[in-house]
Structure 1
Amino acid sequence: MKSRFFVILFSITVVLFLAGCKEDEDTSSDDSQQTDTEEIEKKEDDIDESALDKGEAEDQDVESSSVELLKDVSSIPSNTLEVIHQKEGKFTSIDIRDESIVDEVITEVQKLEPLSEDATDQELDTYFNYLYSLVAEDFPDPQDTIKKWEFGSYGDPDLPDTRFHFKENYNIEVLLDASGSMAAYIGDKTMMQIAKETIQDFMDQVPEEANVSFRVYGHKGTSSSDDKELSCEAIEQVYGYAPYEEDSFQEELDQIKPAGWTPLAEALKKAEEALAEYDTENHTNLIYVVSDGVETCDGDPVQVAKSLSDSNAKPIMNIIGFNVDDEAHAQLKEMADVSGGIFSAANNQNELEDEFKRAEEVLEAWEEWKEDALKDVNNIRVQNSFDITRFTNEWGQKDTLMYNNLSRLTRIFDDEGIISFQQRKKFYTKRDEVIDVVRSAKKDVEEQLRDISAENLEEMKESINNRFKDETTN
């Protein structure tokens, strides 16, 4: 009996011991599980805080980017003068739906911080101003058209600018860009082929009495940086100054091949040196520059163009941007502006030929102009009318493209969450308002051009009649 009691006691003790061990294990497991949970929660908290910090940093980056983008943005134009002189946008003259740039457009938009639903009118204006600045077009300047008309009246001694008076002698220099980019094709011809043919045709029409010079630049080396020095020093007067002789000129022209860099400034300096002996008192001096790009040899062609205009030769500079991009367009136009010259953009052979045809008409002898003066006035009236039509057509094409791009870009702003649907409708209203200003400016400029044209022609006709009267009574 006693033995049985000890067996039972031993069994109970074992059970209690095992139970105690299990409880310790459970407690230990619970403690371990709690520790693991706390560590996981801590890691999750760290991740959440890290993500939050990253999100806040990204938000701060976007906000900082917005401030930087918007700080210098100009207001949309409110009158004709502001339209004409507005700065062209990053995506000017491009349909922003084009697959080649649509990703770039979206990236540009994503730099902005989304507008709040209760954005102020000033904030809405600022964002729309930025939108407008991206697709603002470079509208034609009526001053360029007026300069062409003045050039077309060349030889009239009543013109106030004495550069446009016929003198005892006149000299013509053509400077041709022979950089590597002139090897690009327009249709089935290279730009160099087109330029050569056009220049040759022009020279064939030059009066026998004229002195002709032909200067080429950038025609040696390659566009590689290793050849930069060689190419930038490649400036050569391959013909003249001398009367035009077709075979000799053609021989020199044939040897020119598109090659390297664009030392435009240095080429103009050489032209200035060559013209030094031809003062404006006794010489009419014309310079034609045909270039397809910006200066790439570290010179300042704008400064040199200004220096040329201030020299004793005082040449009339005709600067033709041949199939140029926006940067080259701006530089070449500035050269014309500072020198009192004429800038024209030509994108194909016909347009390039048209610009040289103006000079062909100008270079007729004074006696021929006087004999056919009244007929010439009528021709000028027709030519001026064509110029106005070209001007308004170009303007119309640009304002249509800009209207469409403003609409498309507004939708992108909405799609990317930068503006709300209600704000999108407000942007459309702003679009319509600024396009009204642009189209009103077009009408205003067209009326002014027609008034200037009519006024000048009447004055010219009266002047011619008076001259004939004086000649018949003497």
Structure 2
Amino acid sequence: MKAIKHFLVLLIGLIVFVSGCSQEAEKSKEPADKAKTAETKPAKDEKANEDQEKEEPKEELAVDPLPTTYQELESLSQGPYHDLNYDLTEENQQMFLETFKELPDVSGTPTEKELDLFYSEVLKMVQKDYKGPEEAIKRLKFQSIGSPEMKDTRYEFKENLNVEIILDASGSMAQEVNGKVKMDAAKDAINQFVQKLPKDAKVGIRVYGHKGSNADSDKQLSCSSSEIMYPISSFDSGKFQSSLDKIKPTGWTPIGLALNEAKKDLSQFDGATNTNIVYLVSDGVSTCEDNPVEAAKSLFGSNIKPIINVIGFDIDNEGQKQLKEIAAATEGIYTSVADESELSDELSQINQLAESWDEWKKKGMQSIDLKKVQNSLDIFVYITREEVKSQKEKDLINHVAFVLWQNEMMTAESRVYIEEKNREYHDWIDSEILKFKEELHTLNEMNYSEAIKTLEEKYQQNTQ
């Protein structure tokens, strides 16, 4: 009996001990569980911040205003897809979708502000290179060379006429445009030009960036490469062709170096007895640390007194901006050309001036009456070009809207809004072109100096 009582006492003690241990274990476990719960549930403050962020209003869209003057219009950068071709083939539609995939999403029900932003962004991508009144003034001055009314001796016919072409031979000139290597297109256009020069005119051709390669390891070599391939002299067809054949596009783009070397080429042809014309042809920005704008200013301000014009050949926005700065610094004409045909057209203007110089020489270097403004060297051709730019730009934007609508990435209502905005904007551009065209027509019976003075007085506030 005593044994049974002893056993019961031990059993009760064991139960109490085990129960106590369990409670301690639960107590020690409780903080860990609570910590785990705290880790998985967001704090009240964090949740409140998240809710506040959701409730904050969206940032107001910033939409660039459309230009209100032709001067503002021509200051806009040419878009990377300004010359994009399009048709209704399925392949072309896919190309359009890929090209414009980064445009703002307007697939839902966008606000007018969102559609305005969309229009602004697509316009930047297809923006044309418009030319305004300042361009007309520069072209009139260039076309007025030899006019007795011109007071600037730079624009007088002198005993000698010298033309130097400074040609880009960097690696990018090995690319193709319209199925033809750019360097080959440039050579052919230059050859056509020099073939038509009067026999007494002298011509020279200098290249730059034609050594080494466009690899980083060759940068120093290439950036120090510029060579006179055909020294300024009378035209010899065989020798000139041989000089062109030696030019191979390979390296970097030392424009400043080439301009400084051109100053040496022309140093013996001072402006007192020589009419000197320089054409810089490039397909890109200077890629060397050679300050091309300062080099151009130095050449322009020297006693050589050259007229310096600049041609951008199938060029991008960055290159175009720099070449425009060079032209502006030398009061010269900047022109973008897309292919060999347009390059030939631009160079042909020198041929027509050279013909007038030849006539002046044959008359014993007496004054000659140049043609009236309207009939001179197609001054109105560039007005027609402006009209074509406006039409093509408008059509391209409408096609973008059509492709997005057709692929259910824009509603019919949004498409109507974009096309109407596009029509109004390009109607304004067309009206500005028409006004300027009418202004130029009033210059028909004026001589060059009167025409230039009239335009400068009207637009001088835009050039200060």
| TM-score category of the 2 structures, normalised to the smaller one | 0.7 to 0.9
After TM superposition, list the pairs within 5 Å mapping 1:264-413 onto structure 2.
264-366=255-357, 368=359, 380=375, 383-401=378-396
1:216 maps to 207
- SS of 1:290's equivalent in the other structure is strand
- The letter for the 2-side match of 1:79 is T
After TM superposition, list the pairs within 5 Å mapping 1:35-184 onto structure 2.
35-45=31-41, 75-86=65-76, 98=96, 132=120, 135-136=123-124, 137=127, 139-142=129-132, 143-159=134-150, 161-184=152-175
Contact conserved, 1:171 with 1:286, CA < 8 A, in 2?
A: yes
- SS of 1:390's equivalent in the other structure is helix
After TM superposition, list the pairs within 5 Å mapping 1:16-35 onto structure 2.
16-17=12-13, 19-21=15-17, 23-24=19-20, 26-35=22-31
Contact conserved, 1:152 with 1:361, CA < 8 A, in 2?
A: no
For 2:116 and 2:29, the matched residues in 1 are separated by: 57
Percent of aligned pairs sharing the same letter: 28
1:449 maps to 437
For 2:265 and 2:381, the matched residues in 1 are separated by: 36
Q: CA deviation at 1:21?
A: 4.8
TM-score after normalising by structure 2: 0.74
Q: CA deviation at 1:457?
A: 2.6
- The letter for the 1-side match of 2:378 is Q
- The letter for the 2-side match of 1:459 is M
Contact conserved, 2:373 with 2:379, CA < 8 A, in 1?
A: no
2:428 to 431, 440, 449: 440
**Structure 2, unpaired ranges of 5+:** 86-93, 106-110, 451-464
Contact conserved, 2:386 with 2:433, CA < 8 A, in 1?
A: no
Change (3 A) 1:48 1:77: farther
For 2:377 and 2:156, the matched residues in 1 are separated by: 23
For 1:238 and 1:382, the matched residues in 2 are separated by: 30
For 1:12 and 1:99, the matched residues in 2 are separated by: 89
- Given the alignment of the two structures, is residue 196 of structure 1 paired with residue 187 of structure 2, yes or no? yes
For 1:268 and 1:278, the matched residues in 2 are separated by: 16
Contact conserved, 2:143 with 2:377, CA < 8 A, in 1?
A: no
- SS of 1:284's equivalent in the other structure is strand
2:454 maps to none
Contact conserved, 2:210 with 2:247, CA < 8 A, in 1?
A: yes
Per-residue CA shift, 1:71-126, capped at 9, x if unaligned?
Answer: xx9654333333332456788777998566656667xx9xxxxxxx9xxx9xx79x
For 1:55 and 1:217, the matched residues in 2 are separated by: 62
- Given the alignment of the two structures, is residue 236 of structure 1 paired with residue 227 of structure 2, yes or no? yes
Q: CA deviation at 1:312?
A: 2.1
More displaced 10-residue stretch of structure 1: 312-321 or 94-103: 94-103
1:112 maps to none
Q: CA deviation at 1:135?
A: 4.6
- SS of 1:82's equivalent in the other structure is helix
**Structure 1, unpaired ranges of 5+:** 110-116, 416-420, 464-474
- The letter for the 2-side match of 1:458 is E
- Given the alignment of the two structures, is residue 458 of structure 1 paired with residue 445 of structure 2, yes or no? yes
Number of residue pairs matched? 424
For 1:40 and 1:243, the matched residues in 2 are separated by: 92
Contact conserved, 1:202 with 1:360, CA < 8 A, in 2?
A: yes
2:198 maps to 207
Change (3 A) 1:80 1:185: closer
Contact conserved, 2:372 with 2:446, CA < 8 A, in 1?
A: no
- The letter for the 2-side match of 1:440 is W
